[in-house]
């Protein structure tokens, strides 16, 4: 039972973002949006310590903007207990849960960011959404070589997926206010590490603006 003194940490804003990192720019014609592990049971487990409401609101803005701009949306859902050699068999999203849910509940994504017709949904076995899935092949089919990553947990799923994307010659972007973790320290560590090694770190508003530019361009044709 969490302490009543626990208050969810605040999402990072522009002043707290790392200043280093790649100088890439989001091109909606090259980009796909990846939503990682936003299942209800994981979000319930985070709600006492992480800004889950803001996380879902920002992911919702991003998914709506992506679909409006014709940017593919891909979901990665890690089912508890599934793993390959060397992987984790824990509760999922980089941390265990007291009672891992049945498989049907484990893939139940929060309503406000639920996949829609035309989205791709992948079941993953390890922290990286590329490990043992068709994600790389799907991005190639879609003609995308940039990947905007959001979801939980920042220090495991998001971090390792971004690193994996970079090692596969993709350009990963991590949206700092659309990822979450157990603590502000874990969140900040993950964002700093990714900015210094493998990913461009940005904010929801900046991504929405980039996607809106593509929508305006399409409507003007």
Annotate 83-123 with DSSP letters as a single string.
Answer: --TTS--SSSTTS--SSPPPHHHHT-B-GGG---TT-EEEE
Structure tokens at 7: 């208050």
- pLDDT above 70: percentage of residues in the chain: 82
DSSP result, 37-49 = --BHHHHHHHTTT
Quote the CA–CA distance of 34 and 133 in Å, as a whole number: 13
Per-residue confidence band for 86, with pLDDT thresholds at 50, 70 and 90: very low
State the catalytic residues. 37
Q: Are 130 and 164 in contact (CB under 8 A)?
A: yes
- Output the average pLDDT for the chain: 88
> What is the pTM assigned to this prediction?
0.88
Report the Cα–Cα distance between both ends of the chain, in Å, rounded.
Answer: 56
d(CA 133, CA 185): 30
Segment 91-137, tens digit of pLDDT: 556 655 545 566 666 789 999 999 999 999 999 989 999 999 999 99
Cα–Cα distance measured from residue 49 to residue 104, given in angstroms and rounded to the nearest whole number: 26
Does the structure show a pLDDT above 50 at 221?
Answer: no
Gyration radius (Cα) of the chain, Å = 16
CA angle 97, 189, 156 (to 5 degrees): 40
**Residue 74 pLDDT > 90, yes or no?**
yes
Mean pLDDT within 72-87: 71
Ranges 79-83, 175-179, 209-213, most confident: 175-179
CATH of domain 24-220: 3.40.50.850
- 97, two tokens: 């849960």
Return the pLDDT at 157. 97
Residue 89's pLDDT is what?
43
Neighbours of 184 (CB within 10 A): 17
User: pLDDT, tens digit, for every residue of 173-186?
Assistant: 999 999 999 999 99
Domain boundaries, the chain: 24-220
Q: Is 111 exposed, middle or buried (0-12, 13-18, 19+ CB in 10 A)?
A: exposed
pLDDT digit string (tens) for 128-157?
A: 999 999 999 999 999 999 999 999 999 999
The rounded distance, in Å, linking the Cα atoms of 65 and 190 is 25
Residue 123 near residue 107 (C-beta atoms within 8 A): yes
| pLDDT average, residue stretch 172-200 | 97
């Amino acid at each position: 039972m969490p302490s009543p003194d626990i208050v969810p940490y605040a999402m990072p804003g522009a002043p707290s973002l790392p200043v280093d990192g790649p100088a890439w720019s989001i091109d909606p014609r090259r980009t796909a949006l990846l939503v990682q592990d936003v299942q209800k049971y994981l979000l319930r487990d985070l709600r006492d310590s992480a800004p889950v409401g803001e996380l879902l609101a920002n992911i919702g803005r991003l998914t709506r903007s992506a679909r409006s701009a014709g940017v593919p949306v891909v979901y990665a859902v890690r089912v508890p207990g599934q793993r390959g050699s060397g992987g984790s068999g824990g509760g999922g999203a980089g941390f265990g849960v007291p009672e891992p849910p049945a498989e049907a509940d484990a893939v139940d994504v929060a309503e406000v960011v639920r996949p829609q017709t035309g989205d791709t949904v992948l079941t993953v076995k390890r922290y990286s959404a590329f490990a043992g899935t068709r994600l790389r092949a799907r991005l190639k089919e879609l003609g995308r070589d940039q990947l905007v990553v959001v979801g939980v947990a920042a220090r495991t799923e998001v971090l390792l997926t971004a690193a994996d994307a970079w090692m596969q010659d993709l350009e990963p972007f991590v949206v700092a206010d659309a990822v979450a973790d157990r603590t502000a320290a874990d969140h900040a560590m993950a964002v700093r590490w990714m900015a210094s090694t493998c990913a461009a770190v940005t904010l929801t508003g900046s991504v929405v603006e980039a996607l809106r530019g593509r929508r305006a361009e399409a409507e003007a044709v």
